[in-house]
């Protein structure tokens, strides 16, 4: 009787905490109303319990990317956080392109689009939102809402080039126009305010166009902060991340000892570093070393003699986030700003509820 009850409790716990990857399908994929709540169970919401279970662990952080674990939430919150990172964290980008002269083979509209997609290093928190409606070339914006950039390049022949050379980079001067050629033109007191900031393209080696002698570009650009709540929604150039994604933490359980040739095959069924072989009394025995590295390919289920020896799953409330910044802001700052946006959304929702109750 006790064994039956223990097995039943184990099954209940599995339903609540694990997604199981089977040979012909995935089990326990039901949604929840809130973290810790599951269909068929009377789970009352507890803030204290949530605070005890919730945590964020930073696994990797550098100037361009970040990997961290968010534990104790459900998929709805994780996906909301991902979407905010993609589309609602404010950034600066080139919005208006004034082309005074373009004699290259690149059409004006294509050139403007290429320029708009170049990430601009400028902290959006230091600027105000600007009305990006109809404006003239004389409307330069102000120092609090606009960054003015200029691209002025003319190609000519290189008088010092060798007569036998056929390389355009030797024959011509300024034949390759790169993002490094874009210059910042301070507006108002920006030169003093941003004296310590290197405003300009994040990357210097982005190819914009190729020119030949006599061709030139004379362009002025206005870089602005996207309107409130529209960052990244109107255009990808306002998205501060190259990618923001999450996945559930893989869990691999070896149900029975796997030895010898079977252990070798089992190791090859998973990504490198997931399964390793240890020596036990002269026998090679498979063991799980780091299930986090697994890509959940389910390759092991192809082997009839192995598929019943291993259980594949994912932890339902353990999300592994990967954030890659475009370079405008460090990834840890982007995560912080995304949290602020989510908090503001929650606060606005609560205010709407209060106003509805008062009505």
Q: Render pLDDT for 126-176 as a digit per residue (tens, 0 to 9).
A: 999 876 555 544 466 788 989 999 999 999 999 988 888 888 888 999 999
Count of domains for the chain: 1
The distance from CA 336 to its chain's CA centroid, rounded to whole angstroms, is 13
Kindly give the pairing relationship between strand 283-288 and strand 216-225: unpaired
Position 5 pLDDT exceeds 50: no
On whether residue 320 sits in a domain, the answer given is: no
Position 62 pLDDT exceeds 90: yes
On whether residue 135 sits in a domain, the answer given is: yes
Helical segments of 23-73, H only:
47-53
On whether residue 306 sits in a domain, the answer given is: no
Residues 66/337, Cβ–Cβ less than 8 Å = no
On whether residue 6 sits in a domain, the answer given is: no
Compare 218 and 29 and report the one with higher pLDDT. Answer: 218
CA distance 200 to 194: 12
Terminal-to-terminal C-alpha distance of the chain: 57
Helices then strands, counting H and E runs in the chain, come out as: 8, 18
Band of pLDDT at residue 344, cut at 50, 70 and 90: very high
Structure tokens at 231: 């960052």
- In terms of average pLDDT, the best of 10-19, 200-209, 218-227 is 200-209
On whether residue 139 sits in a domain, the answer given is: yes
Closest by CA to 80, choosing from 325, 349, 354, is: 349
For residue 195, the domain's CATH number is: 2.170.120.12
CA distance 231 to 241: 12
* Confidence at residue 135, expressed as pLDDT on a 0 to 100 scale: 53
pLDDT average, residue stretch 211-238: 82
**Residues composing the chain:** 359
Which class for 43: exposed (0-12), middle (13-18), buried (19 or more C-beta within 10 A)? middle
CA distance 114 to 237: 10
* Confidence at residue 2, expressed as pLDDT on a 0 to 100 scale: 53
* DSSP 8-state symbol, 233: T
Band of pLDDT at residue 217, cut at 50, 70 and 90: very high
On whether residue 96 sits in a domain, the answer given is: yes
Q: What predicted TM-score, i.e. pTM, was given to this entire model?
A: 0.82
CA distance 36 to 316: 10
Domain that holds residue 211: 92-239
Q: What percent of the chain has pLDDT over 70?
A: 87
On whether residue 287 sits in a domain, the answer given is: no
On whether residue 108 sits in a domain, the answer given is: yes
pLDDT average, residue stretch 223-246: 80
């Amino acid at each position: 009787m006790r064994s039956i009850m223990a097995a039943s409790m184990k099954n209940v716990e599995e339903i609540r905490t694990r997604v199981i990857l089977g040979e012909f399908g995935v089990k326990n994929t039901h949604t929840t109303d809130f973290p810790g709540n599951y269909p068929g169970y009377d789970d009352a919401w507890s803030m204290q319990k949530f605070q005890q279970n919730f945590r964020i662990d930073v696994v990797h952080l550098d100037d361009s990317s970040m990997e961290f674990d968010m534990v104790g939430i459900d998929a709805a919150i994780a996906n909301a956080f991902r979407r905010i990172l993609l589309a609602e964290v404010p950034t600066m980008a080139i919005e208006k392109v004034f082309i005074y002269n373009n004699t290259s083979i690149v059409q004006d509209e294509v050139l403007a689009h290429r320029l708009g997609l170049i990430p601009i290093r400028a902290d959006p928190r230091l600027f105000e939102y600007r009305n990006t409606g109809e404006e003239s070339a004389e409307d330069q914006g102000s120092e609090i809402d606009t960054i003015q950039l200029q691209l002025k390049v003319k190609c000519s022949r290189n008088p010092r080039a060798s007569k036998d050379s056929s390389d355009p980079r030797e024959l011509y001067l300024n034949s390759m126009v790169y993002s490094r050629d874009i210059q910042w033109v301070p507006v108002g007191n920006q030169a003093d305010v941003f004296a310590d900031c290197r405003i300009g393209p994040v990357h210097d080696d982005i190819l914009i166009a190729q020119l030949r002698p006599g061709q030139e570009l004379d362009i002025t650009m206005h870089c602005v902060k996207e309107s409130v709540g529209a960052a990244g929604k109107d255009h990808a150039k306002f998205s501060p991340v190259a990618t923001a994604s999450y996945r559930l933490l893989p869990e691999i359980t070896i149900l029975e000892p796997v030895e010898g040739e079977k252990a070798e095959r089992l190791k090859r069924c998973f990504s490198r570093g997931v399964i390793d072989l240890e020596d036990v009394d002269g026998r090679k025995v498979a063991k799980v070393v780091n299930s986090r590295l697994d890509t959940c390919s389910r390759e092991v289920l192809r082997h009839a003699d192995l598929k019943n020896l291993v259980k594949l799953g994912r932890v339902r409330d353990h999300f592994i986030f990967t954030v890659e910044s475009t370079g405008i802001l460090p990834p840890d700052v982007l995560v912080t700003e995304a949290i602020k946006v989510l908090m503001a959304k929650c606060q606005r929702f609560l205010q709407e509820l209060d106003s509805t109750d008062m009505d």
